[in-house]
A and B are shown apart, each in its own frame.
Chain A
């Protein structure tokens, strides 16, 4: 399998199949991150925008950070710009998986419904956070990026990442504690 660097070189030589492979490789994390920040309806536009911006500025990629980090930085900026443009529009919860088949054969419909409702309430709390905090939580606690990679994506010092992540978590905890029922439930 070609490395990202090989695919970037191919794209710069005009091979769209290389760019397609890059999109395929990184689509999921870009889309998930966008969906958690701007909502699912807008996430496809933001994802498309991020990949096209990356395509047109690929010559500026210096390879000092991983391609994924560089791409997430572009996606993050695209998502925040999108939010700034649509500031007064409410964001929908990120997932609509009600029609997805449940992989757990033992789980009953009522349990599934309850789980789905809890998930939606949790998503509403997440979008209630300010966008900067939401991004941090998404990148660290949902996508599992290292602190170093988050510092590169958000272009902030490592210490700031840790401090702000702590504050972001505290804010979300407060929001969840306002609904004691959800906070006490086993996850």
Chain B
């Protein structure tokens, strides 16, 4: 992890003190579980695989919905 370089800043005494305190957190960064990468890639693979069929289903559903609304509109207009 890169350490914050504040050398170019005009820091107050209190801000410098704060950065000393924050060093405690920089020294112990939270770490992710090693299997996180595999989980992300697995989900990306799965989502990528179902994405196109889902888009197709969505398009078909939208077309059916539109057709039904046109039909109901024309039958209501005919009465």
Binding site for B on A (CB under 8 A): 16, 19-20, 23-24, 27-29, 31-32, 35-36, 40, 43-44, 47-48, 51-52, 55-56, 94-95, 97, 100, 115, 118-119, 122-123, 126, 137, 140-144, 169-170, 172-173, 176, 182-183, 186-187
Contact = CB atoms under 8 A, between A and B. Distances in A.
A140 B3 CA distance: 9
DSSP majority for the B interface? helix
B2 interface: yes
Given A20-B37, A31-B30, 15 more contacts: A23-B37, A32-B30, A35-B30, A36-B25, A47-B32, A47-B40, A56-B47, A95-B28, A95-B29, A140-B4, A141-B6, A141-B22, A142-B25, A142-B29, A176-B21
B1 A32 contact: yes
Interface of B: 1-6, 14-15, 17-26, 28-33, 36-37, 39-41, 43-45, 47-48, 51
A142 B18 contact: no
DSSP majority for the A interface? helix
Contact of A44 (B5, B26, B36, B45): B36
Contacts of A100: 28
A144 to B, nearest CB: 4
Contacts of A52: 40, 43-44, 47
Contacts of B44: 16, 19, 51-52, 55
Nearest to B19: A141
B22 A142 contact: yes
Contacts of B30: 31-32, 35-36, 40, 43, 94-95
A31 B36 contact: yes
A144 B4 contact: yes
B13 to A, nearest CB: 10
A115 B23 CA distance: 12
Contacts of A56: 47, 51
A170 B32 CA distance: 30
Nearest to A32: B29
Nearest to B26: A142
Contacts of B2: 143-144
19 contacts: A20-B37, A27-B37, A28-B32, A43-B32, A47-B32, A47-B36, A52-B40, A55-B47, A94-B25, A94-B30, A95-B28, A95-B29, A95-B30, A126-B25, A141-B4, A141-B6, A142-B25, A144-B5, A173-B14
